[in-house]
Structure 1
């Protein structure tokens, strides 16, 4: 397996600083958050060339661009068309940077509240994205994420079953799935099967209330719950069954670490990388 840092962890740093720090920490690559001061669909060709050249100099892969466009299930047709245009621009950037995956967001609401028409609409627009991505040899990845249509393995597979294009896969994210209160261990990996395209790693913990640094609120089937972003092993999302299952199936793809716990970015990424390597050993 190969390890990438999520550039969103370095949101306070420039793209160049994020890449240098990622290399110094010993990661194999960097997954770039496609918003903020790192990359956006409107980033200039000159800027993309700079990033590409630095990645080559550092021998740092860019496996994925984490897009934030989409939200197709609840957006208007006009908004969906705008999102498709943004996706096309990001697709060109991904191709230039050698990224093999682009994350797209299908939209909400939570799977337990969603209706069939939400899935139908998301599938229609994602299928169009798939056609565009196929021409570039790039895979679209949907992140299993709380407060979305694809917040569980069954709901994610339901959406994929409605899409004609087969270059659309899923990102397993145990932290998100812990929040949703759905299985994120061995069975989730086996159920995803060939649709498992990528893995995100972060830890979370249910808490009684907001207020402490790193706390946030999310809607789940239990109601509006409070959570604390944690370093790996300090929260409640046990990743060991996941890692064991990945080894069992011979997964050789990327693990992107995206810890947002209330510690300095370098410290939390170094900590999580050390823990992950020990757990995989």
Structure 2
């Protein structure tokens, strides 16, 4: 398994600086957040080629492009068409950058609030994205995410089966699944392994009320809840069973560090990288 930094943690830095930090930390690659100043569907192709050159110079793989386009389930047809066009442009940029994975967001509402129509509409547009990805030998990844159509194993498989295309797969995110209070452990890896394209790692903790940095609220099946984003090991998400399961199924893809705790970005990356390396070492003993 290879370890990447999420460039979204480093949005206060240029892409060049973000890559410098990632290389200095000893990470294998970077997952690029598709927001300026790092990258977007409007970034010139000349600039995209420059980003590729930077990655090559830093000997960094680009694990994925973390797109924010999509939201097909609740958008108008015109907005869906625009999102689809953005997705196509991101695929063109992914081709230049030498990565085959593009994240597209499925949209909401929460799985426990969604109607069949939401899944059917999302599936229609995601299938179009997958068909386009097939032309460029790319893959579309849907992140299991709180407050979305896919919050747990069941809802993720429901949407994947509706799309029914091999170019569509999933990003496992235990932190998001913890917020949704769904099973994120070894059984979730086994259930999703056929469709598992990518893995995100971060830690969270339920708290009594928001206050201070890195706290937020979410509507869950329990009502409105408060959370704090934490360094790995400081929250309540147990990642060890996940890493054992990944090793057991022979997963050899990317693990992206995605911590949004209150500490400075470099401190977060350094800490979480050390923890993940320990988790990986423990799976091989």
Helix, strand or coil for the counterpart of 2:163? coil
**How big is the shift at 1:36?**
2.6
1:224 corresponding residue in structure 2: 224
Residue 134 of structure 2 is aligned to residue 131 of structure 1: no
Q: Which residue of 2 aligns with 1:172?
A: 172
- Number of the residue aligned with 2:14: 14
Match of 1:3, SS? strand
1:35-87 Cα offsets, whole Å, 9 max, x none, are 13100110011211111111111111102000000000000000000001111
Residue 67 of structure 2 is matched in structure 1 by 67
1:78 aligns with 2:95: no
Partner of 2:39: 39
The number of equivalent residue pairs is 281
CA contact (8 A) 1:72 1:121 kept: yes
Aligned match of 1:94: 94
SS at match of 1:68: strand
CA contact (8 A) 1:63 1:98 kept: no
Tell me the equivalent position of 1:202. Answer: 202
Query: What TM-score does the superposition give when structure 1 sets the normalisation length?
Result: 0.99
Shift of 1:89: 0.8
TM-score (norm 2): 0.98
Q: Which residue of 2 aligns with 1:271?
A: 271
Matches within 5 A, 1:184-263: 184-263=184-263
- Cα deviation for residue 224 of structure 1 reads 1.2
Per-residue displacement from partner, 1:103-151 (whole Å, max 9, x unpaired)?
0001100000111110000000000000111111110000000000011
RMSD: 0.7
- Distance in structure 2 (CA, Å) of the matches to 1:58 and 1:19: 7
CA distance in structure 2 between the partners assigned to 1:163 and 1:126 by the alignment: 7
Partner of 1:158: 158
Q: Please give the secondary structure, in 1, of the residue aligned with 2:151.
A: coil
Gaps of 5+ in 2: none
Q: In the alignment, does 2:104 pair up with 1:104?
A: yes
- Runs of 4+, deviation exceeding 4 Å: none
